[in-house]
A and B are shown apart, each in its own frame.
Chain A
Amino acid sequence: MQAFKNQSYRDKVFYIIILVILSLFFLAVLYPCIFVVSASFSSGTAVQAGKVVLWPVDVSLEGYRTVLNTPDVWTGYANSIFYTVVGTLINVCMTMVAAYCLSRNDLPGGNGLMLLFTFTMFFSGGLIPTYIVIRQLGMINTRWVLLLPGAIGVYNLIVARTFIRNSIPLELLEASQIDGCSDIKYFLRVVLPLSKAIVAVMVLFYGVGHWNAYFSAMIYLHRKELYPLTLFLRQILMSSQIDPGTVQDPEMQQRLQEMVGVIKYALIMVSMIPVLVVYPFVQRYFVTGVMIGSVKG
């Protein structure tokens, strides 16, 4: 506050205007989140009638109980966690290896390889040629289709390559080569431990991308046991009903029809929770890590 008081008058006005505009944006973004949380804790009839405005009306856990009793949601959860963990592992391994190789100036054909990578950023075949390629590779309806295509994101590759070039001095490589260190050993023992920040950033970006992905799963997967959670969420959001065939109990089936609204919001909350839980632990890497691939000095 003392620093604020010492500003000139024009600076104060500027800051106050910025504060007001940002507060308005903040409220506009905050309200849907609060609404989803409140609606998920309300009873079905209250949500249907539109009585829920800010706080939960008729607080009850029936939305959560219905959602957690549906076996589809549990398969979706397991699949989403599988795709996120394994997918992020594959992504980070491949990106780090490629970034290290491309960061070395003595790689034969390094410039040509980098050109090929960046070309895919600007130009791609489109939806249908990709679909045809994947179909001919035999990956339709398998788990690999969500893990392998797009394993290296070129933006992340460039950030990692710049980071390795700028933060790991050439003297380290020369010193280790004098001691007889091979390239692979140098990568595993020297480069990787020094790149923890960039690995954390990539885990964050790739992980969130995998958790939120629904389009690839929608077009390539046709078996329900492979669907990630996002596809069930989409099913409910589009048609406002869980497929009654999966629910055994007829009484439960009838209750489902009454509770479409609450189910929607409870499912949204359920799919948000893992990301919210993991985020505080990686947040400290995120703030320092995003600018870490930028050019220094």
Chain B
Amino acid sequence: MLIPVIGNIMNIGCEKVLLMQNDLNLNYSEIVSTYVYKVGLSSGITDFSLSTAIGMFNSVINFSLLTTANLVSRKLSGSALF
């Protein structure tokens, strides 16, 4: 069960954070998902390629964390997801 969850470890989810953001706390509250949203959709100059690249990068990191966790689990306990 931990292994699939690790696959989502970098996705905090943008909904709650987006609601609580304002100009004052932008320094600390800007996470990957809200930045992708800002660059890709909500600002005046939308840059699809940049935000797609960031999203892809995020997914790749998640996937590599997932395969690493799978490998570690197989080495340590013999049981693994795939």
Using CB atoms and an 8 Å cutoff, list the residues of chain A in contact with chain B.
118, 121-129, 131-132, 214-215, 219, 234, 237-238
- Cβ of A214 and Cβ of B55 under 8 Å apart? no
Name the contact of A122 in the complex, choosing from B4, B19, B54, B55 (C-beta under 8 A).
B4
Known contacts A121-B7, A131-B41, A132-B48; is-contact A126 B18 (Cβ 8 Å) = no
Name the contact of A127 in the complex, choosing from B4, B8, B19, B51 (C-beta under 8 A).
B51
How far apart are the CA atoms of A273 and B34 in the complex, in Å?
30
Interface: B14 (CB within 8 A): yes
How far apart are the CA atoms of A223 and B12 in the complex, in Å?
29
Contacts of A215 in B (CB 8 A): 14-15, 18
- Which residues 40-82 of B sit at the A interface, judged by CB distance below 8 A? 40-41, 48, 51-52, 54-56, 58-59, 62-63, 66
Binary contact track B6-44/A, C-beta < 8 Å → 1, others 0: 011000001100110000000000000100110011000
| Sampled A-B contacts (13; CB under 8 Å) | A121-B7, A122-B4, A122-B7, A122-B63, A125-B52, A125-B56, A126-B54, A126-B58, A127-B36, A127-B37, A128-B40, A128-B48, A234-B19
Contacts of B51 in A (CB 8 A): 126-128
How far apart are the CA atoms of A127 and B14 in the complex, in Å?
11
- Cβ of B48 and Cβ of A219 under 8 Å apart? no
Distance (whole angstroms) from the CB of B18 to the closest CB of chain A: 7
Contacts of A118 in B (CB 8 A): 4
Contacts of B52 in A (CB 8 A): 125-126, 128-129
How far apart are the CA atoms of A131 and B51 in the complex, in Å?
12
The 9 closest A-B pairs by CB, nearest first: A126-B55, A122-B7, A128-B52, A128-B40, A128-B51, A215-B15, A127-B36, A128-B48, A123-B59
Contacts of A214 in B (CB 8 A): 15
- Cβ of B55 and Cβ of A129 under 8 Å apart? yes
Contacts of A121 in B (CB 8 A): 4, 7-8
Distance (whole angstroms) from the CB of A123 to the closest CB of chain B: 5
- Cβ of B40 and Cβ of A127 under 8 Å apart? yes
Known contacts A215-B15, A215-B18, A237-B19; is-contact A124 B59 (Cβ 8 Å) = yes
